Amino acid sequence: MPKKKKDPSDKLAANGGEIHQTAGGDVPVLTTQQGTPISDDQNSLRVGSRGPTTLEDFHLREKIFHFDHERIPERVVHARGFGAHGYFENYESLDEFTAADLFQRPGEKTPAFVRFSTVAGNKGSADLARDVRGFAVKLYTKQGNWDIVGNNIPVFFIQDAIKFPDLIHAAKQEPDRDFPQAQTAHDNFWDFISLMPESMHMIMWVMSDRAIPRSFRFMEGFGVHTFRLVNAEGKSTFVKFHWKPKLGLQSVVWNEALKINGADPDFHRRDLWNAIQAGDYPEWELGLQLFDDEFADGFDFDVLDATKIIPEEDVPIRRVGRLVLDRCVENFFAETEQVAFCTNNIVPGVDFSNDPLLQGRNFSYLDTQVKRLGGPNFTHIPVNAPKCPFHHFQQDGHMAMVNPKGRVNYEPNSWGGAEGGPRESHEMGFRSFPAEEHGRKVRERSESFADHYSQARQFYISQTETEQGHIAAALIFELSKVEKTAIRARLVSHLPHIDPKLADRVAQGLGMQEKITPATAAKEPRTDLKPSKALSIIRNGPKSFAGRKVGVLVTDGSDRKVFEALKAAIEGEGASVEVVAPAVGGVQASDGSLIEAKEKIGGGPSVLYDAVAVIPSEEGCESLLKNAAARDFVSDAFAHLKFIAYADEAMPLFEKAGIAADMDDGFIPLGKGGAGAFVAACRKLRNWERELVVMS
């Protein structure tokens, strides 16, 4: 028999939460591009195990540098994005905590540009991929541009930036075949994740409904890292940034996401564009979690660890202002595509922490923009230029639009007055917080980063039973696409540390016969962390149906009075109506008037709407029975747990689709007072009780 090839992963072993590879035999030694052998590919070089990353780390520099430059011309990650202009309005003075100018005066508005994005997909991918969403905010303050470059998930896969190229390489298309596109359901991704226990908290978030939001308008944003706020006296306060949507949280179900991608791959883009054009300006409130060194030192987890959160129950969120998006871009390429966000863009009164992932991002982002936008003058592009006065001696370079005037382009100089150019200001200028650092230069992870499962468990137990089921189903789906059984088994071995029932459920769903042997934990997981209500989407839904959309299916002869009453009730709630008809030209109502249609049935499936209403005439319903798209309209709405309003004439269509209108209270007849009852029911967004019927 031929000799069986050894699996390189057999030489990988978890040790203290880290992965060490011993080269030997036919396994080559990892080197730099210059051929220098690498001793540690898991940790950046830093001052002490919790200290800042050093500039001399040539391996980090080369690895990130090459990664930043490997896509032409689109972004390596966050390639598919959509942006809009708006403003941030401050609620109160925060001079107690920060000298940042935009936080000093209540009611002051600061111009803003926001770009939402997916992470893994290319520019041409669909909006509803199961993925993290970027949530990047550029604030054009009077002291310069401040970029809060965050996501819709508050944690990340890795603790050290040196692993970012590996993570994205594993998540992107496999290099020999260039697929799959915009999805992580493949061997490379789950192989990497199964060997990185620190990713398990993030995996719970990404397998939850957070990764398939209904709209950009209905998702949270997070700064992810711990930053510092510094006041005028130089006092530092740690801070985490949150963006809370005023319309509440909402996601889709997985089958619905797949069908939305087919019906409208630009669904999220179109939704944001249409809302702003209609004057329904999306809003988020900026929330701050503020805490001092004493809290940080006593907290159960390390505040520098980007795979951890601080539960809102431990540090309540202080809402300090609102972000409003009120203007669409005039040219997508000039603004949304060319906007450049950098985590290192901060203003006086804001400073960094030693989070090793943040430290690496501060290097990476600037380098990325230089490559992607052609040179060092990307700040000359209007969307990237500050809106406050700026003066410097930087000159020339590719695409330079503005150069210093006069003969002086250096500092210090002895030329006086305006001829001598700008000068630094100790009083007004940015000063880094003088944190005291000490320690040996080492490549190691702090022991305080070693607990990889406790918060993953906390997130899972904070979900409703419905949401827990979605996490299990997502894991089963993703891992079912993994061809190598050893990778599936290795990933499942982490799950008993999160929840044994979850592990059993996933193993059963994958048809695994062997008993699950839990992975070795670098640190014993805790089971005493309490659930956090803030981590659940269903528990943080909207208070009304405002901002949502109802698809109303009509035919010739539809009752005009019923339609008008329904439309008035929906619009009175702050939601909108979109008419779907057999033909896009519309229908003739019962009184002979025209009801204009937005979509024909085949082009306006129910997946595009948050709820639906079906109000055909008796004769019109007869014609719908022969229309497969009409049957799908109601059957998909039922399967996706949506509330369905109906006229009695629609009953044959329900029966043809195999559903009964008396099956649950998610069906609301449009008799007397029916429109109001329908809108009231829609405030719950989904009839989650129906899921047991749909899945049985």
By the 10 Å C-beta count (0-12 exposed, 13-18 middle, 19+ buried), 69 is classed as middle
**pLDDT tens digit sequence for 404-453:** 888 899 889 999 888 888 888 888 899 899 999 999 999 999 999 999 99
- Name the residue type at position 184: T
DSSP state, 103? Answer: G
**pLDDT tens digit sequence for 590-602:** 999 999 999 999 9
Quick check: 65 pLDDT over 50? yes
The whole-number pLDDT of residue 17 equals 38
**Which H or E run includes 102?**
none
CA torsion angle 120 123 126 127 (round to 10): 80
Which domains are present in the chain? 65-380 (2.40.180.10), 448-538 (1.20.1370.20), 544-695 (3.40.50.880)
Which of 617, 623, 610, 633 is CA-nearest to residue 687?
A: 610
Length of the chain, in residues: 696
The whole-number pLDDT of residue 222 equals 98
pTM (2 d.p.): 0.92
Q: Please list the residues that pair with 369 across neighbouring strands.
A: none
Helices (H), 34-186: 58-68, 164-171
Average confidence (pLDDT) over 663-677:
93
**pLDDT tens digit sequence for 231-289:** 999 999 999 999 999 999 999 999 999 999 999 999 999 999 999 999 999 999 999 99
Instruction: Dig out the tokens for 339 from the structure.
Output: 């906007």
Radius of gyration of the chain (CA): 27
Quick check: 8 pLDDT over 70? no
Q: d(Cα 56, Cα 45) in Å, to the nearest integer?
A: 8
Residue 318 in contact with residue 288, Cβ under 8 Å?
yes
Average confidence (pLDDT) over 658-682:
93
Report how far Cα 14 is from the mean position of its chain's Cα atoms: 29
Angle at 211 between CA 154 and CA 149, to 5 degrees: 40
Q: d(Cα 231, Cα 97) in Å, to the nearest integer?
A: 5
Tokens 């700040």 locate to 379
Q: d(Cα 302, Cα 311) in Å, to the nearest integer?
A: 13
Average confidence (pLDDT) over 577-601:
97
Q: d(Cα 224, Cα 308) in Å, to the nearest integer?
A: 9
Q: Within 10 Å of residue 26's Cβ, how many Cβ atoms?
A: 8
Which of 430, 13, 449 is CA-nearest to residue 228?
A: 430
Quick check: 10 pLDDT over 70? no
| Higher pLDDT, residue 205 or 11 | 205
Instruction: Dig out the tokens for 395 from the structure.
Output: 């000159």
The whole-number pLDDT of residue 21 equals 47
Q: d(Cα 534, Cα 420) in Å, to the nearest integer?
A: 55
| Higher pLDDT, residue 465 or 402 | 465
Mean pLDDT of the chain: 93
The whole-number pLDDT of residue 12 equals 37
Quick check: 11 pLDDT over 60? no
Average confidence (pLDDT) over 465-475:
98
pLDDT-derived band at 18 (thresholds 50, 70, 90) equals: very low
Q: What is the largest CA-CA distance in the chain?
A: 90
By the 10 Å C-beta count (0-12 exposed, 13-18 middle, 19+ buried), 557 is classed as middle
Active site residues: 78, 151
Give the whole-number percent of the chain exceeding pLDDT 90: 83
DSSP-derived 3-state class of residue 639? helix
**pLDDT tens digit sequence for 592-639:** 999 999 999 999 999 999 999 999 999 999 999 999 999 999 999 999
Which of 327, 329, 215, 336 is CA-nearest to residue 264?
A: 215
Average confidence (pLDDT) over 355-372:
93
The contacts of residue 3 (CB under 8 Å, 6+ apart) are: none
Average confidence (pLDDT) over 114-126:
97
Q: d(Cα 631, Cα 626) in Å, to the nearest integer?
A: 8
Quick check: 1 pLDDT over 50? no
